[in-house]
């Protein structure tokens, strides 16, 4: 068990020997060495959303939104562990060469637990989706895996971006996200609170925008009142990069760099990613900050460094270079890819029968694209396996795989001096000569991502609508019109308008950005060597016309909890090629299928014993999902909300009992003042493999097991 008090005492002693100038120097993200005290340089900036990023070779996992689709807490814990071990291997070896550059430290600015409230947001694929509970549970598991439970932190995680942050990217430096207390505490804060209280995340990063008038890296409400006040956060706070500069250049809440630095420090921002803290000494001279405030920030930072054991001989110092991309880690990455892929439609064509296929066509701009594998904030892989390569390696020797790029990702031609759509004829010929077509469409990090990091300059990384680029829409229609069975594989980090594919394709798959070697696993899924089991962590709407204004941060009309229209594919939805059913749900001695109302004390939550059966002769995976709604409360979201989930693996024809725990907090609602309370006596609980909504029932042909709890703990 880590001893924060001991680490803080050591930090106070060390910082107490520093000059004022030395203390200020340590508040920059690229903190210099203080040789006279034996302190090496340290760069706080590192990334690890889905693998150690930007520092050379490391195991590549699916982008975060893909891992969210796995609905698997154990998986996220293991991913965190892998990143921590590989990060230590890099830190140890780089440090031995005195290489202390950016991206080579042990403080990872991950995970991103913002709520993906609008599918147009370009950075949404860095998150765990649109649901606060799912985001909190997966983020908690990732942080616990990354930080470990030993005497020292294996690595330090950072929950970002605090708070109420999800686009538009083009406005983030000047935008004020106005939000009610109810939406703040019901949607935007729960994941952060869980990571702080339950996972003891070591760091929190502020957002670029303002929230209710205050810049998030200088917000008394967010940083002092809530984070350190209500939640008791003990770690360090870091600004997003160059966000403090925005105080006086974009938000106009201060008049100078000195005032901006002072505001951030007053509110408890310890690390400045940027250069505004270079003005702290002048701010001190002008009486804007005190030495005590500077000292406290430095102490918090050195507390983290001592907790990481950076001045000690720790068990992690022996982690060696050979842990990078080792067999065990690559197997976890393959599992993550397999669990992340969501089967949206299947008319019976899947799984493909490899032994019966003589020809297969693979078409599309993402079929042989490495960029479509990796998402943003990625590391380097020693090997990449695209979907085309995965299929080529998987088929029988006498099966012919035809390939055409089909079209450019977004331009109207591939060769600069050609006429428009210069590969579409080839794509049609491939389709005509194939028994089945795998059509790989979508985007990549050049089309959706962070402002400044993408080639999508016209929208700063966001999407202006949910449509695939025009060349891809034309390609899709041309290939469909050939008349061969088409399996559409959509590789995006966000929801798209897939209505045409849903109507005309034989199967539709959401593959996200599946990781560097993801093409092999997707081929295994196509040929039935692994079961489809992913579930959507976001709603797939029909079009943007169904959505509120992108800049409106009210939750009304957003996400599955508040959306009133009909969706294309619901949150929590995902098909299987196997037939898995829920046979029984028991609450204590009661069989819920026989007793529709039970009286229960909910003060400690409940344990549901769910019996599931695989009725097929192939191995299967499913995700048990529990949704709840107070029937007699006016304070609840429009739709039942996710309150528990468990992934279950089943052998052919196997029956298994799974205990699903629903926490007591799931039976609290948030009032208009942002306070949690009990409200209502009758609570509807639904247990199934998706939401208890009509669209999920229509798509899956299955209903949830639904009953009502009369609460006794009023």
Q: CA-to-CA distance for 222 and 204, rounded, in angstroms? A: 11
Q: CA-to-CA distance for 362 and 237, rounded, in angstroms? A: 48
544 Cβ neighbours under 8 A, 6+ residues apart? 119, 120, 465, 466
**Alpha helix locations (H) across 250-324?**
257-267, 280-285, 291-307
Q: CA-to-CA distance for 247 and 366, rounded, in angstroms? A: 40
Tokens 């925005």 correspond to 246
Catalytic residue status for 200: no
> Is there a contact between 350 and 391 (Cβ–Cβ < 8 Å)?
no
Catalytic residue among 200, 202, 240, 462: 240
> Is there a contact between 30 and 326 (Cβ–Cβ < 8 Å)?
no
Strand partners, 591: 586
Where b means 16+ CB within 10 Å and e means fewer, 319-350 reads beeebbbeeebbebbbbbbbbbbbbbbbeebb
Catalytic residue status for 448: yes
Q: CA-to-CA distance for 468 and 443, rounded, in angstroms? A: 8
Q: CA-to-CA distance for 607 and 604, rounded, in angstroms? A: 10
355 Cβ neighbours under 8 A, 6+ residues apart? 396
98 Cβ neighbours under 8 A, 6+ residues apart? none
What count of other Cβ atoms lies within 10 Å of the Cβ of residue 562?
A: 17
Q: CA-to-CA distance for 131 and 701, rounded, in angstroms? A: 24
Catalytic residue among 86, 169, 448, 451: 448
Q: H or E element: which one contains 503?
A: helix 499-504
Catalytic positions, please?
Answer: 240, 448
């Amino acid at each position: 068990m880590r001893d924060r008090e001991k680490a803080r005492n050591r930090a106070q002693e060390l910082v107490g020997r520093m000059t004022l100038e030395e203390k200020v120097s340590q508040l920059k993200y690229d903190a210099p060495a203080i040789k006279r005290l034996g302190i090496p340089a340290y760069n706080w900036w590192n990334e690890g959303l889905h693998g150690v990023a930007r520092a050379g070779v490391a195991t590549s996992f699916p982008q975060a939104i893909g891992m969210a689709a796995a609905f698997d807490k154990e998986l996220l814990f293991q991913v965190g562990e892998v990143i921590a071990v590989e990060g230590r291997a890099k830190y140890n070896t780089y440090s031995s060469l005195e290489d202390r550059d950016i991206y080579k430290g042990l403080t990872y600015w991950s995970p991103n637990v913002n709520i993906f409230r609008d599918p147009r947001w370009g950075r949404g694929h860095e998150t765990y989706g649109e649901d606060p509970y799912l985001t909190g549970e997966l983020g908690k598991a990732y942080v616990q895996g990354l930080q470990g439970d030993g005497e020292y932190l294996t690595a330090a995680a950072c929950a970002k971006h605090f708070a109420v942050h999800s686009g538009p990217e083009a406005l983030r430096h000047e935008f004020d996200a106005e939000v009610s207390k109810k939406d703040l505490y019901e949607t935007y804060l729960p994941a952060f609170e869980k990571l702080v209280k339950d996972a003891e995340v070591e760091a929190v990063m502020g957002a670029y925008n303002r929230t209710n008038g205050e810049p998030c890296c200088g917000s008394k409400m967010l940083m002092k009142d809530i984070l350190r006040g209500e939640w008791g956060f003990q770690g360090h706070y870091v600004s997003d990069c160059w966000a403090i500069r925005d105080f006086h250049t974009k938000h106009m809440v201060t008049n100078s760099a000195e005032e901006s630095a002072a505001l951030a420090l007053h509110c408890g921002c310890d690390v400045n990613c940027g250069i505004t803290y270079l003005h702290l000494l002048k701010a001190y001279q002008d009486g804007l900050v005190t030495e005590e405030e500077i000292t406290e920030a430095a102490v918090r930072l050195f507390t983290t460094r001592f907790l990481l054991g950076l001045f000690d001989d720790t068990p992690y110092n022996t982690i060696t270079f050979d842990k990078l991309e080792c067999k065990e880690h690559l197997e976890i990455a393959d599992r993550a890819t397999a669990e992340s892929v969501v089967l949206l439609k299947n008319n019976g064509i899947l799984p493909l029968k490899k032994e019966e296929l003589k020809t297969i066509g693979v078409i599309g701009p993402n079929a042989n694209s490495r960029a479509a594998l990796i998402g943003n904030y990625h590391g380097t892989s020693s090997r990449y396996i695209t979907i085309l390569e995965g299929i080529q390696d998987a088929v029988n020797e006498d099966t012919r795989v035809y390939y055409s790029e089909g079209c450019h990702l977004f331009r109207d031609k591939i060769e600069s001096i050609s006429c428009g759509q210069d590969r579409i004829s080839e794509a049609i010929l491939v389709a005509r000569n194939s028994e089945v077509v795998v059509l790989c469409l979508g985007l990549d990090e050049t089309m959706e991502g962070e402002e400044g990091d993408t080639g999508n300059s016209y929208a700063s990384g966001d999407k202006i609508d949910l449509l695939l680029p025009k060349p891809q829409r034309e390609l899709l229609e041309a290939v469909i019109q050939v008349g061969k069975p088409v399996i559409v594989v959509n590789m995006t980090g966000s929801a798209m308008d897939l209505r045409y594919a849903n109507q005309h394709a034989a199967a539709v798959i959401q593959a996200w950005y599946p990781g560097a070697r993801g093409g092999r696993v997707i081929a295994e899924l196509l040929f039935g060597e692994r079961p489809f089991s992913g579930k959507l962590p976001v709603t797939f709407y029909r079009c943007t016309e169904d959505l509120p204004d992108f800049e409106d941060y009210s939750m009304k009309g957003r996400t599955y909890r508040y959306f009133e229209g009909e969706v294309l594919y619901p949150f929590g939805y995902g098909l299987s090629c196997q037939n898995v059913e829920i046979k029984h749900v028991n609450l204590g001695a009661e069989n819920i299928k026989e007793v529709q109302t039970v009286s229960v004390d909910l003060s400690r939550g409940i344990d549901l014993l769910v019996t599931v059966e695989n009725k097929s002769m192939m191995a299967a995976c499913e995700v048990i999902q529990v949704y709840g709604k107070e029937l007699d409360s006016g304070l609840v979201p429009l739709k039942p909300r996710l309150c528990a989930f468990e992934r279950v693996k089943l052998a052919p024809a196997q029956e298994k009992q799974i205990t699903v725990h629903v926490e007591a907090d799931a039976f609290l609602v948030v009032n208009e003042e942002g306070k949690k309370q009990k409200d209502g006596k009758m609570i509807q609980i639904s247990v199934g493999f998706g939401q208890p909504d009509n669209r999920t029932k229509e798509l899956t042909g299955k209903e949830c097991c639904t009953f009502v709890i009369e609460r006794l703990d009023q």
